Amino acid sequence: MTLPSSLKDALKIYLDFIYVTLLWFVASFLGILLSLGSATLAFYRVMASLSQPKKQTYIFPTFITEFKQKIVKRILFTLLFYVDLFGFFVLFQIAINQNITVLIIVLSILLYEFVMGMIYYLGLNALFVLEPGQSLVSIVFIAMHQNIWRNLQLLSPLFIMVFAFFYVHPTTVIFLFSGVVWLQLVILKKAFLKTDQLIDEE
């Protein structure tokens, strides 16, 4: 993943990023958000491909191809994702309203684990292919507990996007989401290529 050599190249890359983001929004909402899982995995796959300047990427065909893979299974995982989020919301409301400090702390830790797990899973799934017999879930679990500094780097752009969503305007997500994912992919790729993890680059 290298920086563009000119302003024209940078603008082209950014417009590509915006295009992929719009595809993600359309694909997610066409399925009434049940297709969010497939759309997000397709988004990450295209972003990982776009982040390799020497590789020719056909955005729409690549997105559609990835989007259609295992779509039923991904819908089920998306439903589970919504159930988890709803559970966190309800429990946080109970803990805050009843001032249960221990529950707030436990839920905060679990939410951190949940978010980090999603970031690592999506990023590593998009960037690398596993060797036969390897488990992505196991690798993600180990990786997300290896380096707290790397985790903070991965979370920082996400915090900026959330801040902009609530305190600037919700539409800022369209312009920032691709940048957040790109930064996370850069961080993950550099970290795992340097440390020679049990993953091969695709």
35-48 pLDDT tens trace: 999 999 999 999 99
The model's confidence at residue 194, banded by pLDDT at 50, 70 and 90, is low
- Determine, yes or no, domain membership for 50: yes
Domain boundaries, position 71: 7-201
List, for residues 74-95, the tens digit of each pLDDT value: 999 999 999 999 999 999 999 9
- Determine, yes or no, domain membership for 69: yes
Taking residue 82's Cβ as centre, other Cβ atoms within 10 Å add up to 13
For residue 18, give both structure tokens: 């915006």
- Determine, yes or no, domain membership for 176: yes
> Which among 108, 89, 86 is positioned nearest to 97, based on CA atoms?
89
- Has residue 97 got a pLDDT over 90? yes
**Per-residue b or e along 58-68, where b marks 16 or more CB atoms closer than 10 Å to that residue's CB:** ebeebbeebbe
- Determine, yes or no, domain membership for 1: no
Q: What pLDDT is recorded for position 31?
A: 73
| pTM flag (> 0.75) | yes
Taking residue 92's Cβ as centre, other Cβ atoms within 10 Å add up to 15
List, for residues 137-163, the tens digit of each pLDDT value: 898 999 999 999 999 999 999 999 999
- Has residue 202 got a pLDDT over 60? no
Instruction: Provide the domain count of the chain.
Output: 1
- Determine, yes or no, domain membership for 138: yes
- Indicate the length of the chain as a whole number: 202
- Determine, yes or no, domain membership for 178: yes
